[in-house]
Amino acid sequence: MADGSPPGVDLDALATWAAVGLPQAEPPFTGHRITGGRSNITVQVVDARGVAYVVRRPPLHGVLPTAHDMGREHRIIAALGPTGVPVPDALAMCDDTDVLGAPFYVMGFVEGTVLNDASTAEAALDPDGRDRAGATLIDALVALHAVDPDEVGLGDLAKKDEYVARQLRRWHRQVEQSRQRDLPAVDRVHDLLAAHVPPQREGRIVHGDFRLGNCIVGPDGAVRAVLDWELCTLGDPLADLGYVLATWARPDDDRVPDPTGPTLLPGFAERDTLLARYARASGRAVDAVDFYVAFSLWRLACILEGVYARALARAQGDTGVDPEVFRRRVDDSVALAEEHATRFAAQG
């Protein structure tokens, strides 16, 4: 491996591959890991002319079957590029595991800030910028859900119907494969949700992890690009809306799924404001949103349990993050999920 190469991305090997796979780049490369994500490894590389690119690949180990599909993620970004959805340019895909030890893809670098936490948001945005971030996040979500998957070549990405039921099965199975401890609340909420799934009215492109922490914003707060499409599928668009609201913590919340979340700062819109903007712009009924918030929090708990397992195994190298942070987030997320699921079920 080249000296100074980030974990998982050998810069010399990347340079050799780029001669054919990314001919517009001019090696040698320098690079550094882009922190903040807890699943796939994302690295910014800069060529000899100062042009920046982003390389994305799976974790070093601990990869579950059907997870971390780089080709699928690259395909989605490429298909959405010509639409109104803000995404980075999809530049190249490599299936040859001899290059970096796993499939990877390269996308264009988008200048801006990823609002991973409150301290980053406070440094990057004033109150007006924070308000604009919420508004443009919802606008990007409306744009995504306006795309007909068949028209952009993604109609065969997945089944469109019974999205929530499929997701409940998938993530319950995933958490069973990666769990490090007994999680009775996860099982309990799963059963409660499965018994009260609202009818699905349409099948659209669902990002699966749509939140500020997966977007690049400009200095004015406007969303410039939506990132991290690894969980994208087809299904019920209201699941994305539920996830935005589930992860949109506010300062007066008693319990939050992420104690460092950016929206804990003043200046960000309230959840009711975001909900109203989505309903008005999309024309969709949002009366069952409490179910989708509960579902999103439960699924987040399952995802975080996998992150917790990878953190214990150091599957992304030594990130310096205490795995117990993720254990506590799992517990808080599933507790919130149970509150929302119970309230929705009581509504009949």
DSSP summary character for residue 5? P
What are the tokens at 338? Answer: 């149970």
Q: Taking each helix axis from N to C terminus, what angle separates 271-282 and 127-146, rounded to the nearest 10 degrees?
A: 40
Phi, psi of 324 (to 5 degrees): -65, -20
Under CATH, which number does the domain 118-346 receive? 3.90.1200.10
Q: Which string of DSSP letters, residue by residue, matches 252-265?
A: T-SS-S-TT-GGGS
What are the tokens at 113? Answer: 């800030």
pLDDT confidence of residue 321: 67
For residue 88, say if its preceding peptide bond is cis, omega within 30 degrees of 0: no
Question: Which tens digit of pLDDT belongs to each residue from 74-85?
Answer: 999 999 999 999
Quickly count: other Cβ atoms within 10 Å of residue 258's Cβ.
21
| Cα separations in angstroms, 69 against 64, 72, 103 | 10, 5, 8
* 11-108 homologous superfamily: Phosphorylase Kinase; domain 1 (3.30.200.20)
End-to-end CA distance of the chain: 59
**Using an 8 Å Cβ cutoff, are 21 and 98 in contact?**
no
d(CA 13, CA 319): 23
Q: What's at 343, amino acid-wise?
A: R
**Using an 8 Å Cβ cutoff, are 152 and 84 in contact?**
no
Instruction: Indicate the pTM of the whole model.
Output: 0.89
Residues forming CATH 3.90.1200.10 domain(s) in the chain: 118-346
Residues of the chain with pLDDT under 70: 1-3, 36-39, 61-68, 314-321, 348
Q: What's at 228, amino acid-wise?
A: D
pLDDT confidence of residue 60: 80
Q: Which residues pair with 46 in a beta bridge?
A: 30, 52
- For residue 18, give every residue at least 6 positions away whose Cβ sits within 8 Å of its Cβ, in sequence order, or none: 25, 27, 29
pLDDT confidence of residue 65: 45
Question: Which tens digit of pLDDT belongs to each residue from 51-74?
Answer: 999 999 988 855 544 456 899 999
Angle at 285 (CA atoms; ends 279, 289), nearest 5 degrees: 85
Residues forming CATH 3.30.200.20 domain(s) in the chain: 11-108
Q: Which residues pair with 57 in a beta bridge?
A: 41
pLDDT confidence of residue 38: 54
d(CA 189, CA 191): 5
d(CA 90, CA 14): 17
